[in-house]
Amino acid sequence: MKAIDLAVIGVCAALYAVVGRLTDFGVTFIGVAFWPAAVIPAIFAALYGPWVGGAGAAIGIFARDMLFHGNPVLSLMAGVPPNFIMFFIIGYLSSRSFDTKKLTLGALVSLIVVFSGLLLPTLIMPEEFAVVTGLSTSTTFAIFIFTVGLSLAIIAYVSKRWPEWRSYSLGSIIGQGAGAAVLSVMLWLFTQMFYSALFPLPLEAALIPAIFIWTFATEIPFVLLAGPPVIKACYNAFPSLKRKKTEEERS
């Protein structure tokens, strides 16, 4: 990476940590915060590439976690890896060109794999899941189907209405799905291994899908809706960023 990339990573990390802490409003679900700030590293990933977005998000979330709960092990397990993976994918796929058929197929396969895998704990332990969340297995399954269908509908609509954003929308949904999956599994794993003030008791594996749904559903609207206008404004203000992306697409 160039020196400018390192500087931009620092800016991304600082904005992500500060804005994230100011906009979570203290709202959490099984320890996972409401997180509109996810749009910040998504924008940096689309503008400057996967390494900038991934590294900026990883550093930023660690700084935010130290301000919030102060547990470095929890952050290094359930905060840093999913954030790096999520925004690396967004940055990587945003710089690629896809036709509509490949776009839909790739999104469908990725979402089905992620959602189906995470649904298994709930199907295996439905009673534990229902006790904590108050949702039946059938309701959870319906939510999963609705989320997959809505994600595909968003991709299809964006591809038709704003074709220049189809790669960004694909990267956002796949990246968000992968990051939320890693976060939910790693958070469950952390509670099996360590005691903390946030998690005095181990989480049931059946809660993994609930954590995934919360993470995915509360972040993806901000990434998809707030990201493109800001990115477009940055392209207008700094045309060199657009030229850089065009060169990456050719390669």
pLDDT digits (tens, 9 = 90+) for 34-49: 899 999 999 999 999 9
Domain containing 24: what range?
Answer: 3-250
pLDDT confidence of 6, banded at 50, 70, 90? very high
Query: Measuring CA to CA, how many Å separate 235 from each of 48, 169, 239, 242?
Result: 11, 17, 5, 6
pLDDT at 204: 83
Count: domains in the chain: 1
Q: Is the model's pTM score more than 0.75?
A: yes
pLDDT confidence of 238, banded at 50, 70, 90? confident
> What is the three-class DSSP state of 33?
strand
Q: Which of 86, 29, 25 lies closest to 58 in space, CA to CA?
A: 86
The rounded percent of the chain whose pLDDT value lies above 70 is 75
Contact 78, 186 (CB under 8 A): yes
Q: Which residues pair with 28 in a beta bridge?
A: 33
Q: Could you identify the residue written with the tokens 């972040």?
A: 219
pLDDT confidence of 209, banded at 50, 70, 90? confident
Contact 121, 209 (CB under 8 A): yes
pLDDT at 117: 59
Instruction: Give residue-wise pLDDT tens across range 56-70.
Output: 999 999 999 998 888
> How is residue 25 annotated by DSSP?
T
The Cα 236–Cα 47 span in angstroms is 12
The Cα 156–Cα 99 span in angstroms is 11
The Cα 109–Cα 145 span in angstroms is 13
